[in-house]
Amino acid sequence: MGQLLTAHGEIQTPCFMPVGTQGSVKAISPKELDESGAQIILSNAYHLFLRPGTEVIKDLGGLHNFMGWQKPILTDSGGYQIFSLALLRKINDEGVEFQSHIDGFKHFLTPEDVVQIQADLGTDIMMQLDECVHYPCAKDHAQVAMKRSLDWAQRSKSASRGQGQLLFGIVQGSTYDDLRRESAQRLVEMDFDGYAIGGVSVGEPKGLGYDIADFTVQYLPAEKPHYLMGVGTPPDIIKAVELGIDMFDCVVPTRYGRNGSAFTSQGKITVRNALHAYENKPLDEDCSCYACRNFSRAYLRHLFNCGEMLGMRLVSLHNIHFYLEMMRKAREAISRDRYTEFKKEFLERYDQCV
């Protein structure tokens, strides 16, 4: 178990960061996040830069005040979004030109610009601009992107940022061990506040992503936080913690919640299924969230079948609570030196049929 100090408070790791891409965790209020035990949330600099605009948020006192969340915030640089959402992007060593996926307006951003955007947002942890490649990727392309990301990392490190704002470097290199090793070792030489493993959850087989994390983390300093970007399901996270990963983010809890899938201690269930029509029991009898304390599976199924917004909110809230409680139990197991046993018990129970 570790501790990460930020300008807006201390974070106990390993931790899960609910994703509030556009300054909001979908369907969940900041009060509900706080009551569920969230220590930190993630927002996205690319999306906020485009809408409502950095100048709006800065003028209104920064992202914390803008969204009513006074605990730590990590902002992703938007590198992945630029390379996946933006139109007609052009990349060179100076930066990236792209058209907004919202209105088609052209923008050009350098690594220094991206640091400045995050500084203006007032984020606690900022990420460098990196070039993310998709899977599969030819090695020569992966190498060019990795070396460019390293150059951008150095420029990001040299850019000015607010007092107390932390900056993480991002390891790239696609599926190639030698590129991953070089990227990690050179980033460590630059001495970032933390290190992210990027370029996973981009279409590669699940086992391969796990192998990439396992290989990469050995080259990162144990005393600095390790962040596995975009991962994942409860079993993915529980397995990755054992590798030495400290921080996770994923849209899965709220995305699945909005679509009627709930994570429970015995596995994932689909709320809409007919077998829940008469079930007068909560989503998870071991869960203390608002949804599980007050509503039956039968009622939640009814809400989804009627298209009621409350159903999406309640299952999303449950899923967030489940993830955060899972991480709390993981930290407790680590503190008691019984994480291996906890992992085995969690996975055996999670695989049961509900």
pLDDT for residue 201 is more than 90: no
Alpha-carbon distance 330 to 14, whole Å? 8
Instruction: Give the mean pLDDT of 128-139.
Output: 94
Indicate whether 74 pLDDT > 60.
yes
Percent of the chain clearing pLDDT 70 (strictly above): 99
pLDDT digits (tens, 9 = 90+) for 85-98: 767 789 999 999 99
Distance, in Å, from the CA atom of 218 to the CA atom of 26, rounded to the nearest integer, reads 35
**pLDDT recorded at residue 1:** 86
Whole-number average pLDDT of the chain = 96
Cβ within 8 Å of residue 313, ≥6 positions away: 27, 28
pLDDT over 90 percentage in the chain: 92
pLDDT in tens, 154-191: 999 999 999 999 999 999 999 999 999 999 999 999 99
**Token pair 């009513």 is at which residue?**
68
CA distance 6 to 166: 8
Catalytic positions, written as ranges: 76, 249
Confidence at residue 80, expressed as pLDDT on a 0 to 100 scale: 85
Q: Residue 27 is which amino acid?
A: A
Mean pLDDT score, 271-276: 97
**What average pLDDT score do residues 314-318 get?**
98
Report DSSP state, residue 224.
S
Instruction: Give this prediction's pTM.
Output: 0.97
Of 79, 73, 80, nearest to 20 by C-alpha is 73
Q: What is the pLDDT of residue 83?
A: 78
Distances from the Cα of 215 to the Cα of 173, 175, 179, 244, 342, angstroms: 12, 10, 11, 11, 23
Q: How far apart are CA 72 and CA 52, in angstroms?
A: 21
Which pLDDT band holds residue 353 (cuts at 50, 70, 90)? Answer: low
Answer for the pair 247, 227: CB distance below 8 angstroms, yes or no. yes
pLDDT confidence band for 79 (50 / 70 / 90): confident
* pLDDT tens, residue by residue, 36-52: 999 999 999 999 999 99
Q: Is the model's pLDDT at 354 over the cut of 70?
A: no
Q: What is the mean pLDDT of residues 49-71?
A: 98
pLDDT (0 to 100) of residue 203: 87
